[in-house]
Amino acid sequence: MSGILIVAEHLRGAIADISGEMIGAAVALKAQFGGPVRVLIVGHDAEQLAPSLNLPGVDEIFTVRSGNPHFDASIAEEAVVQAALQFHPALILTGHSSAGMSVAPGIAVRLGSGFAADVLAVEVNNGLVKATRSGYGAKVNIHVEFPGKSVVVLTLRGATFNAPDGQGNATITALSGEVDKMAPGYEHLEFIEPPSAGVDIAKAEFIMSVGRGIQDEKNIPRFAELAEKLGATLGCSRPIADSGWLHKAHQVGLTGKVAANCKLYVALGISGAVQHLHGMKHVETIIAVNTDAHAPIFNVATYGSTLDVFEFTEAIESML
C-alpha cells in the first residue's frame, strides 16, 4: 500500500474547489507519506475535465467514463474501489460534500479501511495517518488514528486546505473496465439552486461581523453601509441569522460558513462562543469590540476594544 488516491469532484461541467483543496492536502503530505499522488475522476465528461486537475505535485490522473451523464454514487463507488484494488493506495481522499459523503463510507466498508469524516487536518507520523476532526459541537478537536489499517479513507472539509497554484506535469490515462458498462444507479431529476444572498463568507478576505451586541434589527442597515464603505463582507453570529435580521449566508461559524480566506475579521458585539470561533479563530488579524472585557472573543483577538459598539462605529464613520 502506498501513495494517495484523490477522488475528484465536479458538477455541471466544472471541477469543484474541493478537488484542488484535496490535491493541496495530498501534496503537503507527499514528502512524509510517500507518493505517488493520483487523482481519479469519474463522470460522463471525465476526459474533458481531467486537464484541470493537473496541478503541481500530482503524478497521475485517471479518468473513468460513467454511463450516467450526472453524478452517480453507485458508479463512482465502484470506480474508486476498482482503482484502489489496482493501485493499492494507503490513503483515499474524498470531499466532505454531498457527493463525497455518498461514496466514502461505502468505499471504506468494501476495502475494510479506516475512516474519518469532516477532517480538517491530516498528518503522518512514522508512516501512520493521524486525522483531526471536531467533536462535541466544535468544542474539542479529536485526533483519530487507524491502528492496524493499511488503507484509510478520509472525507476532507471544504475551504480548509489550499489548492496548489500553477500547472503540473501529471500523466492522464483513461481506465477501462466494467464501470463504463454499469447501468445508472441514480436518476437525476433537476438541479435546485440555493437562494443567493450575494455573499460568500468562505471567499471573503475582509469580514466585518455583527452579533447580538448591535441590539436591534433596525441597526442592520447602518452596519451594512459601514461594511460596504470599508470594503468588507458583512458577516454575523447565529442569533442574527436565526432572527432573520440577515440571510443565513452571512453566518460565520459551525453551522454557518468558515471564513477560510479571511485576513482581517472585525467582530462587533459578538461574545465569541465556541461555535462562532470555529468559523473565524484562525484568521490572522482579528479586531473585537465588546463592552464585556471578559468576553471569550478577546481570547482570540489580535486587537480589542471595550468601547460600546455604537461609539466605535460612530468614530469609524466620522473618518470615512
Ligand X SMILES: Cc1cc2nc3c(=O)[nH]c(=O)nc-3n(C[C@H](O)[C@H](O)[C@H](O)COP(=O)(O)OP(=O)(O)OC[C@H]3O[C@@H](n4cnc5c(N)ncnc54)[C@H](O)[C@@H]3O)c2cc1C
Q: Which residues pair with 10 in a beta bridge?
A: 15
Window 73-132: residues binding ligand X (CB under 6 A): none
> Shortest gap between Cβ of 128 and ligand X (angstroms)?
32
Of 104 and 138, which has the nearer Cβ to ligand X? Answer: 138
Does residue 239 belong to the site contacting ligand X (CB under 6 A)?
Answer: yes
Is 38 in contact with 93 (CB distance < 8 Å)? no
> Shortest gap between Cβ of 260 and ligand X (angstroms)?
14
Give the whole-angstrom CA distance, residue 154 versus residue 308: 45
Q: Count CB-CB contacts under 10 A for residue 189.
A: 7
- Candidates 94, 155, 271, 313; binder of ligand X (CB under 6 A) is 271
Binding footprint of ligand X, residue count (CB under 6 A): 26
Of 5 and 258, which has the nearer Cβ to ligand X? Answer: 258
Is 291 in contact with 307 (CB distance < 8 Å)? yes
> Shortest gap between Cβ of 259 and ligand X (angstroms)?
11
Give the whole-angstrom CA distance, residue 27 versus residue 34: 10
Does residue 145 belong to the site contacting ligand X (CB under 6 A)?
Answer: no
Does residue 304 belong to the site contacting ligand X (CB under 6 A)?
Answer: no
Does residue 292 belong to the site contacting ligand X (CB under 6 A)?
Answer: yes
> Shortest gap between Cβ of 301 and ligand X (angstroms)?
12
Q: What Å distances lie between residue 236 and 230, 296, 314, CA to CA?
A: 16, 16, 19
Our measurement of the distance from residue 97's CA atom to the centroid of its chain's CA atoms, rounded to an integer in Å, reads: 8
- Candidates 59, 255, 281, 316; binder of ligand X (CB under 6 A) is 255
Give the whole-angstrom CA distance, residue 21 versus residue 53: 11
Is 76 in contact with 103 (CB distance < 8 Å)? yes
- Candidates 65, 149, 238, 250; binder of ligand X (CB under 6 A) is 238
Residue 262: which residues within 8 A CB-CB, separation 6 or more? 204, 205, 206, 207, 280, 283
Q: Which residues pair with 288 in a beta bridge?
A: 267, 304
Of 58 and 252, which has the nearer Cβ to ligand X? Answer: 252
Give the whole-angstrom CA distance, residue 289 versus residue 87: 53
- E-state strands within the chain: 4-7, 10-11, 14-15, 37-43, 60-65, 91-95, 114-119, 121-125, 128-135, 140-145, 152-156, 171-174, 206-210, 233-236, 264-268, 285-289, 303-305
Interaction pattern, residues 170-209, with ligand X; x per rule: CB under 6 A: ----------------------------------------
Does residue 246 belong to the site contacting ligand X (CB under 6 A)?
Answer: no
Does residue 253 belong to the site contacting ligand X (CB under 6 A)?
Answer: yes
Which of the stretches 23-31, 66-74, 194-202, 269-277 binds ligand X when contact is defined by CB under 6 A? Answer: 269-277
What residue type is 185 in one-letter code?
Answer: G
Which of the stretches 88-96, 97-105, 120-128, 210-218 binds ligand X when contact is defined by CB under 6 A? Answer: 210-218
Which of the stretches 157-165, 170-178, 198-206, 267-275 binds ligand X when contact is defined by CB under 6 A? Answer: 267-275
Of 58 and 258, which has the nearer Cβ to ligand X? Answer: 258
Which of the stretches 98-106, 127-135, 174-182, 237-245 binds ligand X when contact is defined by CB under 6 A? Answer: 237-245
> Shortest gap between Cβ of 272 and ligand X (angstroms)?
7
Does residue 137 belong to the site contacting ligand X (CB under 6 A)?
Answer: yes
Q: What Å distances lie between residue 33 and 1, 61, 89, 124, CA to CA?
A: 11, 19, 11, 6
Of 52 and 306, which has the nearer Cβ to ligand X? Answer: 306
CA angle, 160 as apex, 49 and 224 as ends, to 5°? 105
Residues that bind ligand X (CB under 6 A): 137, 211-213, 237-239, 251-256, 269-271, 273, 275-276, 289-292, 295, 308-309
